[in-house]
């Protein structure tokens, strides 16, 4: 059995491409951190999502978004441009769960919250409490 599950953040926006037979493929990579503090280690997993889900989700798979993935994992061996042998962790994704966007350092201004102006200063507990 080959089953991989992980939660991480996207390193870049997902890219959509198509095979020769017009099958859509969304390609993206996620950073999965494990351990914590000074011992924290981050591993990058290259992911491919196929079919209709790839077309549907590519616009939501943006840099910094936290996602959960489930799929089959493999170690891909390749030779880089300089002729060095390299390995890459890849996952053929079966399921994607969108978990949220990366928080920004600047607070967002909520127009409704900032535009509220009370008309009269009324104390809701103005009357005597009956108990």
Residue range 51-109, pLDDT digits in tens: 999 999 999 999 999 999 999 999 989 899 999 999 888 999 999 999 987 665 455 45
Look up the pTM and report it: 0.69
The residue written with tokens 């108990």 in the block is 131
Write out the two tokens for 52. 């209709």
Q: What torsion do the CA atoms of 49, 32, 64, 66 make, to the nearest 10 degrees?
A: 70
Q: Which residues of 32-65 are buried (b: 16+ CB within 10 A; e: fewer)?
A: beeeeeeeeeeeebebbbeeeebeebbeebeeeb
């Amino acid at each position: 059995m080959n089953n991989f599950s992980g939660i991480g953040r996207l390193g870049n926006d997902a890219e959509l491409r198509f095979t020769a037979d017009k099958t859509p493929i969304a390609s993206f990579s996620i950073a999965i951190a494990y351990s914590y503090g000074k011992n924290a280690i981050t591993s990058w997993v290259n992911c491919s999502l196929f079919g209709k889900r790839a077309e549907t989700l590519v616009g939501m798979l943006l840099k910094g978004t936290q996602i959960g993935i489930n799929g089959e994992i493999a170690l891909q061996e390749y030779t880089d441009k300089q002729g060095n042998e390299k390995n890459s962790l890849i996952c053929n994704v079966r399921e994607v769960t969108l978990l949220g966007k990366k928080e920004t350092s600047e607070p967002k201004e909520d127009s409704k919250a900032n535009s509220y102006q009370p008309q009269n200063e009324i104390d809701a507990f103005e009357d005597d409490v009956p108990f």
